[in-house]
Structure 1
Amino acid sequence: MQRFNHTAFINSRRDERGLGHHTLRAYSQDLRTFSRFTKANGLTDPLSKEDILAYHRHLRDELDAKPATIERRLVTLKSYFAWRAERNSALPSPFTDVRITVKIPRRLPRPIDRDTLKLVLRANGGAIDALLSPGADHAVPDAQNAVTVLIIKLLIVTGLRISELTNLKVRNVSSDGSQILVQGKGSKERIVFVPNRELQEEFQRFCKERSDTGSIASPLFLNTVGRRLRAATFRKRLRALSERLGVEPHLTPHRFRHSAATLLIEEGIDIRMVQALLGHANLKTTEIYVRVSNTALRRALERADILSTLKH
């Protein structure tokens, strides 16, 4: 397909919209998939409505892509063609008259139940030991064990995305360990709070040690060789902890995020406050946790106890 160069589009999304690395990588994957389709079918500009419908069938029937993947690929492609049409009126978007509905099954998040969270916290750092040989991230020393559990506690009380947490610098934490300046999706900044006093003190001591051994511009969390802890490395540690404790399905950073939201909703925290904590742009994204949790409803009904009030 002639003139299909998505590099400029990706660069504009990064520079003009401030989109994050993961979003830009997904855009690139989506556009490369379409580029392969156009080459395989000998398609050239201008593309037609039928070409887009054929691509939809290709994703659905030949690639057997999941509905959410199909929707994302089509949304990315539509954005690309709209962007291109703005810059070259001779290349109109083939999506102008296209109406494609992709039904996506609503998947409920899977938070970690309270008993499992208690089990993980009782591990107290000693549960993750000798995972690999020294030098790799297998033999995590005691100091790293404690850091792993500290991160778990922070995920539970803040609901941070693991990428937000692993990208933190020492300077992003307040001097008393009670506040964290987080850069979320689209480079949007927000403040999250560490409400537990004991955790604040533990976090404060950790941050002071990191400041003393490095600088305020250093990564907050390091791996066993002194470099920034990567999300993939932390996921490996959680999987090892899951195996050690017999937790199924295994622990993941995002399940801790789900747990943070669900626990707050269950304790009666206003949904808009939960939205602000999680950094959700749309309240609908947060509302799913209301449907997940029936605990708050049960407690409210037990407090009301309408039948008892009618007896008196």
Structure 2
Amino acid sequence: MPRLDHRAFINTCRDERGVGHHTLRAYTQDLRTFARFTAAHRLSDPLSKDDILAYHRHLRDALGAKPATIERRLVTLKSYFAWREDRNSALPSPFADVRISVRIPRRLPRPIDRDTLRAVLQAGDGPIAPRSTPGEHGATPASEIAVTLLIIKLLIVTGLRISELTNVKVRDVALDGSQILVRGKGNKERIVFVPNHELQEEVRRHSEVRRREGSVAAPLFLNTEGRRLRSATFRKRLRALSRRLGIEPHLTPHRFRHSAATLLIEEGIDIRMVQALLGHASLRTTEIYVRVSNHALRRALERADVLDVLRN
């Protein structure tokens, strides 16, 4: 059986390539799945093209994996064997002559409609109201609904991934609340702007409270116990809010990201600017939002009323 050096590969991806935590976890899962396959079929080095094709059939037919999962597992494996060959040329990659085409159906994103967004924003209002019980390190957590709504507003305006926002530190926020430094996939940094003056003031007040409470290296958003708010906790809050407001399907952070992109394109923002805001490596990823938005097309056609132009 071939020896798959999982740990060394994962360490290289983390330390040298800056790969994020969630991606590293997926890589580990993908490599373990392949290791089980090689053990069950008693495969040994050097692996061949036929072994990879057999693994593809195993994923598709025996495991019934979805096309996107199959593609990810093969891409992970291909990266692993390229890394292994680079370290030891005596172990060539079995992917050298492999040509596998995995058809992945393009699913349209599901943004939240405007009426639902308005209902969510009206679910609770008012300034950040600190609780009286100090949390970890003496920090006083703000009220749960205030923090939840502040994050929702930021998701709508910035299109951030929830993991990017929950990892923001106090020092990453401009003193006037107008911009935030975030770290995206691959630990790439980018700046997102908060154009709404009312929201800027909310962000400024919240970060000012957090600065007074302690280190600028501390998380910007805390849970009710005074610890860093985690993505999973925020998702639970959204599910509870969805039940309260009768929203189906329930709200998710990524649906707010879809909404941010769709709203910006509907308002005429150039697609390349939306790409930069969302942190997409490829414009192709952003282009899907153009297909989603019929509202923008209708407004553009109304502005360019060709019959009206011909009459005048």
8 Å contact from structure 2 (residues 183, 190) kept in 1: yes
Letter in 2 for 1:43: L
8 Å contact from structure 2 (residues 160, 278) kept in 1: yes
Deviation at 1:310, TM superposition (A): 2.7
* 1:120-131 to 2 correspondences below 5 Å: 120-125=120-125
8 Å contact from structure 1 (residues 271, 286) kept in 2: yes
Deviations 1:266-294 (A, max 9, x none): 00001111111111111111111111111
Q: Which residue in the other structure is 2:27 paired with?
A: 27
Letter in 1 for 2:61: D
Q: Which residue in the other structure is 1:168 paired with?
A: 168
Distance 2:263 2:124 in 1: 21
Percent identical residues: 80
Deviations 1:174-209 (A, max 9, x none): 000001000111111000000000111111111111
Q: What is the count of residue pairs matched by the alignment?
A: 299
8 Å contact from structure 1 (residues 166, 231) kept in 2: yes
Distance 1:209 1:142 in 2: 9
Given the superposition, is the C-alpha separation of residues 17 and 142 from structure 1 closer, same or farther in structure 2, using an over 3 Å criterion? closer
Normalising by the residue count of structure 2, what TM-score does the alignment of the two structures yield? 0.93
8 Å contact from structure 1 (residues 125, 148) kept in 2: no
Q: Which residue in the other structure is 1:48 paired with?
A: 48
Deviations 1:187-238 (A, max 9, x none): 1100000000011111111111111122211111011111000000000000
Distance 1:124 1:206 in 2: 16
SS of 1:181's partner is strand
Distance 1:159 1:66 in 2: 27
Q: Which residue in the other structure is 1:80 paired with?
A: 80
1:16 equivalent in alignment to 2:6: no
Q: CA RMSD of the aligned region, Å?
A: 1.4
Q: Which residue in the other structure is 1:132 paired with?
A: none
Letter in 1 for 2:271: I
Deviation at 1:308, TM superposition (A): 2.6
Deviation at 1:125, TM superposition (A): 5.0
1:226 equivalent in alignment to 2:226: yes
SS of 1:222's partner is coil
8 Å contact from structure 1 (residues 175, 204) kept in 2: yes
Letter in 2 for 1:101: S
* 1:1-312 to 2 correspondences below 5 Å: 1-125=1-125, 143-312=143-312
Distance 2:216 2:309 in 1: 59
8 Å contact from structure 2 (residues 111, 256) kept in 1: yes
8 Å contact from structure 2 (residues 143, 224) kept in 1: no
- Structure 1 runs of 4+ off > 6 angstroms? none
Normalising by the residue count of structure 1, what TM-score does the alignment of the two structures yield? 0.93
Deviation at 1:143, TM superposition (A): 1.5
- Unpaired runs of 5+ residues, structure 2, are 127-134, 136-140
Deviation at 1:5, TM superposition (A): 1.6
Distance 1:88 1:142 in 2: 54
- Unpaired runs of 5+ residues, structure 1, are 127-134, 136-140
Deviation at 1:303, TM superposition (A): 1.2
Deviations 1:85-105 (A, max 9, x none): 111111111111111100000
Distance 1:260 1:57 in 2: 39
Letter in 2 for 1:83: W
